[in-house]
């Protein structure tokens, strides 16, 4: 390998440059360069950001935020949306790896697709990485050390960066393949056909509702029946249902399995509600801020307000997580949807593991869950930083929540892509399609087929349906199945068959085109969202 010294390479710590020896080496790739960094501590190092200016400019980019629900939009470097600075800190920290950057610059958290190619990190095992796009189009790579500490004489190898120059579609394909291999993605399994309770019933679910839909699901080729939010004792307590549920979870799992379906269940493993049992009984299990107070991971009015983040650098928390998920597995659940995973990466200065980065804390939490459910169970992530989850999850949500209306309605200024709507389920799913079967199976969220209790037109429903097929073929339904007539069931059957037909990796011909053309091993899809367009060629 060749050694490369870049002018401007430095470790920034709170706006101050910290003296540190940073060894940077490069390795040629077929269509680019791999950059490897190692920090050598000549004096104590605590936190900071390693900054490497990149000798390239961008004219058009795909802005990408931190996690499943974050922005994924095509734009220009100067479109920074300064109004974003007015959003709450907890929200900016949830949607972007660095909460102080929105409204000042644009970023590609994990990787950046731009008119000149793709720059991205091959893994997020040590730190989170960001490609920063300045308003003038200049670029720099940043490795976020967070709370990592190094004593004099210690060294730390950072996650490699690749700079792939050329056609954006071709380099995107190369990056997805290289990063998936480097991050040791799990072996891919055919996507199950899923029914989920959320988008029809939300939290107002009962065992009777689940069984009524189970009866129809088992007759029409649906393989997984997933119980969503509303069953649990409270947010943070997942080993038993709430009192109104009035039934054991193992009995319902047994009934689902008896009808030939796989029992599935939703949880949010890294959350603890303010005033709830977990936060009250184990205050030492929470991530804390610089003032020693529990870090707010999010606000959720439906759950009662402030939600804290579990500190997954704490061995006691990891033991709790493994035991909790082993209990759910023993109750008969084999398909697990784990949500709001960004909480394990919440910004906080007082973690139990004082030398652990946020990326490492998230991975420790995911490893604890996988240990509890075993290797054979199917694990679907959601609300997660994407690259850190590679190797742990089988599938990952890559979009905002779908909705029974097309355009976004309520959102913080500058964040219209970060709210529920059908459009916001389509765009990121399509623009992240090359990750399918390279990192994990892509979950483009549920496909709404019902013709009643919806504001989506027939043509808009077609676009949502075909976008899910184009992105991955992971098909989940979430309607009251009693609303389906024979025509709807025929459409569902064709959807399942088409998903099988188009199984395999995806490639975007030109990520900046409108509509976007996605190729599968047997055909192609043309998908647009402004205005809604869907065409398919097998």
HSE-CB for 129 with a 13 A CA cutoff: 28
Three-class SS of 264-280 = EEEECCCEEECCCHHHH
Could you give the CA distance from residue 267 to residue 514 in angstroms, rounded to a whole number?
A: 37
CB 123 within 8 A of CB 179: yes
- Helices and strands (H, E) in the chain, number of each type: 11, 34
Cα 250 to chain centroid distance, Å, stands at: 29
With CA atoms as reference, report the closest residue to 244 among 234, 231, 227, 263. 231
Q: How many CA atoms are closer than 13 Å to the CA of 59, on its beta-carbon side?
A: 4
Is 339 among the catalytic positions? yes
Tokens of 435: 């990750």
Maximum CA extent, the chain: 71
Gap between the Cα atoms of 98 and 388, Å rounded: 16
Single out the residue of 57, 61, 28 nearest to residue 162, CA to CA: 28
Report d(CA 328, CA 334) in Å as an integer.
9
| Distance between first and last Cα of the chain | 45
Name residue 534's beta-bridge partners: 527
User: How many C-beta neighbours within 10 Å does residue 407 have?
Assistant: 14
Which of 401, 445, 466, 479 is flagged as catalytic?
Answer: 401
**Residue 418: partners with Cβ closer than 8 Å, 6 or more residues away:** 65, 69, 70, 71, 95, 400, 411, 412, 424
DSSP SS3 for 252? helix
Which two structure tokens, joined as six digits, stand for 383?
Answer: 């609300």
Q: Is 271 exposed, middle or buried (0-12, 13-18, 19+ CB in 10 A)?
A: buried
**In this structure, what are the phi and psi dihedrals at residue 505, rounded to the nearest 5 degrees?**
-65, 155
Q: Is 443 a catalytic residue?
A: no
Q: Which of 229, 339, 445, 498 is catalytic?
A: 339
In sequence order, the β-bridge partners of residue 237 are 234
Active site residues: 339, 401
């Amino acid at each position: 390998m060749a050694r490369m010294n870049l002018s401007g390479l430095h470790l920034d710590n709170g706006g101050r440059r910290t003296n540190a020896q940073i060894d940077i080496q490069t390795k040629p790739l077929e269509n680019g360069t791999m950059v490897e960094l190692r920090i050598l501590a000549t004096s104590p190092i605590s936190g900071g950001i390693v900054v490497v200016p990149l000798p390239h400019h961008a004219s058009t980019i795909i802005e990408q935020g931190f996690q499943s629900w974050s922005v994924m939009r095509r734009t220009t470097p100067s479109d920074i949306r300064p109004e974003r600075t007015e959003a709450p800190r907890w929200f900016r920290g949830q949607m972007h790896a660095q909460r102080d950057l929105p409204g000042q610059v644009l970023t590609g958290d994990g990787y950046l697709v731009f008119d000149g190619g793709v720059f991205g990190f091959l893994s997020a095992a040590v730190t989170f990485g960001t490609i920063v796009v300045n308003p003038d189009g200049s670029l720099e790579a940043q490795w976020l050390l967070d709370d990592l500490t190094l004593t004099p004489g210690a060294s730390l190898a950072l996650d490699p960066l690749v700079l792939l120059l050329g056609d954006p579609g071709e380099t995107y394909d190369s990056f997805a393949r290289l990063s998936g291999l480097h991050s040791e993605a799990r072996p891919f399994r055919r996507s199950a056909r899923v029914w989920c309770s959320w988008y029809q019933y939300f939290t107002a679910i009962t065992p009777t509702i689940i069984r009524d839909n189970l009866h129809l699901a088992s007759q029409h080729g649906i393989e997984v029946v997933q119980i969503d939010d509303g069953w649990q004792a409270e947010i943070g307590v997942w080993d038993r249902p709430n009192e109104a549920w009035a039934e054991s979870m193992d009995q319902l799992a047994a009934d689902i399995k008896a009808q030939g379906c796989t029992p599935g269940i939703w949880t949010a493993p890294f959350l603890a509600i303010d005033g709830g049992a977990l936060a009250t009984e184990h205050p030492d299990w929470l991530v804390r801020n610089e003032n020693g107070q529990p870090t707010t991971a999010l606000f959720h009015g439906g759950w009662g307000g402030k939600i804290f983040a579990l500190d997954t650098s704490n061995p006691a928390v990891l033991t709790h997580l493994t035991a909790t998920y082993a209990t759910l597995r023993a109750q008969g659940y084999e398909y697990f949807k784990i949500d709001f995973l960004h909480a394990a990466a919440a910004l906080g200065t007082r973690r139990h593991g004082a030398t652990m980065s946020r990326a490492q804390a998230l991975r420790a939490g995911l490893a604890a869950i996988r240990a509890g459910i075993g290797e054979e169970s199917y694990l679907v992530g959601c609300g997660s930083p994407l690259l850190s989850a590679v190797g742990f999850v089988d599938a990952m949500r890559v979009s905002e929540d779908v909705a029974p209306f097309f355009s976004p309605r309520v959102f913080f200024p500058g964040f219209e892509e970060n709210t529920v709507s059908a459009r916001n389920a389509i765009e990121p799913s399509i623009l992240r399609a090359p990750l399918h079967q390279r990192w994990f199976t892509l979950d483009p969220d549920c496909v709404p087929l019902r013709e009643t209790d919806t504001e989506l037109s027939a043509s808009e429903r077609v676009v949502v349906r075909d976008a899910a097929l184009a992105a991955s073929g992971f098909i989940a339904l979430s309607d009251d199945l009693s609303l389906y007539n024979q025509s709807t069931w025929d459409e569902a059957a064709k959807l399942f068959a088409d998903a099988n037909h188009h199984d395999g990796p995806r490639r975007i011909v030109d990520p900046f085109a409108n509509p976007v053309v996605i190729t599968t091993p047997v055909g192609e899809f043309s998908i647009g969202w402004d205005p809604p367009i869907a065409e398919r060629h097998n």
